[in-house]
């Protein structure tokens, strides 16, 4: 999970403050990979038939961040 550590370290590269919006596209790509990874991991049951609640929580948090980034991109570039 090397890419996850790199994303977390560079998380400060995303700034959404009012009308000032900057995004590092490589960070967005890494976030999208993480969302996919945790989405898949959160749908796997363990030996006891239980889902990984930590993976589900992480997926929900990252997905919310991804949706916010997409909304900001759409606002900025659609006219």
pLDDT in tens, 6-55: 444 444 445 544 555 566 678 888 999 999 999 999 999 999 999 999 99
Higher pLDDT, 18 or 58: 58
Question: At 14, phi and psi to the nearest 5?
Answer: -100, 120
Higher pLDDT, 11 or 72: 72
Token pair of 3 as six digits: 């890419």
Q: In this structure, are residues 30 and 3 in contact, taking their beta carbons and an 8 Å threshold?
A: yes
Provide the pLDDT for residue 22.
65
């Amino acid at each position: 999970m090397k890419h996850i550590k790199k994303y977390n370290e560079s998380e400060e590269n995303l700034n959404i403050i009012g009308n000032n919006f900057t995004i590092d596209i490589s960070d967005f790509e890494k976030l999208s990979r993480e969302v996919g990874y945790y989405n898949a991991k959160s749908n796997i049951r363990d030996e006891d038939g239980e889902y990984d609640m930590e993976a589900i929580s992480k997926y929900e948090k990252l997905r919310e961040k991804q949706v916010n980034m997409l909304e900001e991109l759409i606002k900025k570039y659609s006219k």
